[in-house]
Amino acid sequence: MDEQREQAVTDEVVASFADTEDERLKEIVGSLTRHLHAFAQEVRLTQEEWAAGIGFLTRVGHMTDDRRQEFILLSDVLGLSMLTVGINAPDSPEATPSTVFGPYFVEGAPEVELGGDIAFGAKGNPCWVTGSVHGVDGSPVAGAHIEVWEADEDGFYDVQYEGDRTAGRGRLTADDEGRYRFWSVLPSAYGIPDDGPVGDLLAATSRSPMRPSHLHFKVDAPGYRTLITHIFVSGDPYLGSDAVFGVKDSLITDFPEHPAGAAPDGRAIDGPWNSVNFDIVLEKA
């Protein structure tokens, strides 16, 4: 009888969406209701646990603002972000793999000329980044827009500092042959913000908040699918335990170190510096 009563509740809620005009919305809310109710039944959720869950989500909402997206962080650590990435992955195996967006993308990054420096004072070893953007058929994607962002050597993004500082991010435009180049700093490993409810969840489940060192890319061009990805520094100790499950083997890249001296663009560097080449393959929209 208990199972019948519980099923009746689920059926009643699903039926309440019957007049939804948007068929996709109707499908989503109906499926969400069925799965959510099934979860509560499977674990035999108590009212105290339900209240604790509501309190947790309320704290996630309160922690979210225009500089920090705690809901994306929650999606990331639960693997939902990477699952969604996988569901919507490019059909072509030649296309560059996508990965998580992360909570630190900011609209309106400063425009940087090819060969310019996106560090804007961010601390870290200088790093020369080069590559090209082309389609699956090998044709260059002239004028592709490339946005990049990363943490500094202390493991912090600019938005984690006080004030309106902009550092470690920029927007570039590929040349007529799809090529791009810029200076940055060597990416560093860091812990995702663990001073909020998501951090409490990780601590309660004995999980590490660490992410391996990486450099984010968002690449778009007319006629092509927008790519969200990042490259990881080979040899990083956290490659096998990324807190947000974003690592893909094909995105692990060498960042060789070079001695002081003249860099490829003629810049004189008085200490060690790194470099990386990352060619990007876009799929047609």
Q: In terms of domains, do 25 and 110 share one?
A: no
pLDDT of residue 1: 62
**DSSP designation for 112:** -
CB 76 within 8 A of CB 102: yes
Q: In terms of domains, do 93 and 158 share one?
A: yes
Q: In terms of domains, do 24 and 164 share one?
A: no
CA nearest neighbour of 270 among 285, 259, 281: 259
Provide the 3-class DSSP secondary structure of residue 176: coil
Least confident of 19-23, 100-104, 123-127, 210-214: 100-104
Q: In terms of domains, do 10 and 117 share one?
A: no
Q: Per residue in 45-91, pLDDT tens?
A: 999 999 999 999 999 999 998 878 899 999 999 999 999 999 998 88
Residue range 131-137: mean pLDDT, rounded: 97
pLDDT of residue 251: 97
> Residue 205: which CATH number?
2.60.130.10
Q: In terms of domains, do 160 and 266 share one?
A: yes
pLDDT of residue 162: 87
Structure tokens at 149: 């962002």
Dist CA 194 CA 190 (whole Å): 11
Q: In terms of domains, do 158 and 29 share one?
A: no
pLDDT-based confidence at 283, cuts 50/70/90?
very high
Dist CA 92 CA 99 (whole Å): 15
How many domains in the chain? 2
Give the residue numbers spanning the domain of 22. 1-45
- How many of the other CB atoms lie within 10 Å of CB of 68? 16
pLDDT of residue 30: 98
Q: In terms of domains, do 177 and 40 share one?
A: no
Residue 65: inside a domain, yes or no? no
Residue range 167-184: mean pLDDT, rounded: 98
Q: In terms of domains, do 128 and 181 share one?
A: yes
